[in-house]
């Protein structure tokens, strides 16, 4: 993608985006962690999952958390949900747009200050997922709620968020906290705008680094090979 379009720096913000972040940082802090570490004590030994996490999330921010599987995203938001008093955990992996809408209405009926969503749209087909993303933004614009959203989908994270917290694994540490330079209100047309593509390229480099040739498997594992005459193409 970068070969075709000269992308700007993913840190470069337009004046309106810069002003928005200045205003956002003036809002009270809703969630704060200082030097959080988490170790699970298991029969196989201790697993140090999270290390030295410092975090401050402002009122009505939309934060996404991304990172490789097992880096501690769910552990982090479980801890945040227990540290914050007026919060609601939105169910994960519901299928169907209607069930999702009912779940959002239920979660917001308790008037939480913070809504935690852990891969909540992961079971949806792409069309319903994109409808739910727009619906969630519409709700967030109109309701006084801070949202912490875990996802593996980079487009989803950029489209929804003010900031993206990128975790790295073993142990889970903050790799970067990125302010999204894409202006609001967001629309699906922005998926191809230079700011969006610049952030996506940077996130891809962080979360899906290129595998070196030495790490790539050179041969297929020997599992019941077909005989010579059984040709499928
Ligand atoms: N209750 C527990 N006891 C022991 N180990 C745990 C426990 N909960 C999580 N872990 C371990 O902590 C690590 C982080 O788990 P976590 O579920 O937070 O990762 P994640 O980033 O949410 O992964 P995924 O993207 O697959 O959902 C994993 O190695 C997991 O096996
Ligand atoms: Mg998880």
User: In this predicted model, what pLDDT tens digit does every residue of 107-155 receive, in sequence order?
Assistant: 999 899 999 999 999 999 999 999 999 999 999 999 999 999 999 999 9
pLDDT of residue 89: 79
pLDDT at 87: 73
Name the phi and psi angles at 39, rounded to 5: -125, 130
Contact 149, 63 (CB under 8 A): yes
Give the integer Cα–Cα distance in Å for 111 and 33: 23
Query: CA 151, CA 161: separation in Å to the nearest integer?
Result: 11
Identify which of 181, 177, 178 has the alpha carbon closest to the alpha carbon of residue 196. Answer: 181
Q: Supply the residue whose CA is at minimum distance from atom 24 of ligand 1.
A: 69
d(CA 58, CA 63): 9
Rounded to whole angstroms, the Cα distance separating 14 from 180 reads: 11
Ligand 1 pocket mutation pick from 73, 154, 165 by most atoms within 8 angstroms of CB? 73
162 φ, ψ to 5°? -80, -50
CA angle 158, 122, 101 (to 5 degrees): 90
Architecture of domain 15-206: 3-Layer(aba) Sandwich (3.40)
For residue 221, pLDDT over 90 is answered with no
Residue nearest to atom 23 of ligand 1 (CA): 70
Hey, is 220 helix, strand or coil? coil
pLDDT at 1: 52
Model confidence at 34: pLDDT above 80: yes
Q: Ligand 1 centre and the CA of 76: distance in Å?
A: 10
- Atom of ligand 1 lying closest to residue 69 CA: 25
- Mean pLDDT within 97-111: 89
Please list, residue by residue across 88-122, b when 16 or more beta carbons sit within 10 angstroms of its beta carbon and e when fewer do: bbbeeebeebeebbebbeebeeeebbbbbbbbbbb
Q: Average pLDDT for residues 86-106, to the nearest whole number?
A: 81
pTM score: 0.90
Tell whether the model's pLDDT for residue 91 goes beyond 80.
no
Please tell me which residue, 230 or 9, carries the higher pLDDT value. 9
Protein residue closest via CA to atom 31 of ligand 1: 70
> What pLDDT does residue 156 have?
98
Q: What is the pLDDT of residue 76?
A: 96
Per-residue pLDDT tens for 151-196?
Answer: 999 999 999 999 999 999 999 999 999 999 999 999 999 999 999 9
Task: Read off the DSSP letter of residue 177.
Answer: E
Query: What pLDDT score does 182 carry?
Result: 98
219-226: average pLDDT: 72
What is the distance between the alpha carbons of residues 39 and 171, in angstroms, rounded to a whole number? 9
């Amino acid at each position: 993608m970068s070969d075709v379009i000269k992308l700007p720096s993913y840190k470069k913000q337009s004046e309106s985006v810069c002003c928005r972040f200045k205003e956002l940082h003036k809002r009270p802090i809703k969630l704060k962690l200082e030097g959080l570490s988490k170790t699970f004590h298991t029969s196989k030994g201790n697993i140090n999952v999270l290390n030295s996490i410092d975090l401050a999330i402002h009122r009505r921010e939309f934060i996404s958390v991304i990172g490789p599987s097992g880096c501690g995203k769910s552990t982090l938001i479980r801890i945040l949900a227990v540290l914050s008093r007026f919060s609601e955990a939105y169910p994960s992996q519901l299928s169907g747009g209607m069930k999702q809408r009912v779940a959002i209405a239920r979660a917001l009926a308790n008037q939480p200050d913070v809504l935690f969503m852990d891969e909540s749209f992961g079971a949806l087909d792409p069309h319903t997922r994109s409808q739910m993303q727009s619906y969630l933004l519409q709700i967030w614009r109109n309701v006084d709620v801070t949202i912490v959203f875990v996802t593996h989908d980079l487009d989803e994270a950029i489209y929804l968020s003010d900031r993206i917290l990128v975790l790295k694994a073993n142990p889970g540490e903050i790799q970067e906290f990125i302010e999204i330079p894409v202006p609001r209100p967001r629309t699906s047309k922005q998926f191809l705008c230079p700011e969006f593509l610049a952030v996506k390229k940077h996130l891809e480099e962080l979360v899906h680094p290129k595998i070196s040739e030495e790490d790539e498997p050179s041969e297929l594992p020997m599992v019941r090979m077909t005989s010579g005459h059984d040709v499928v193409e």
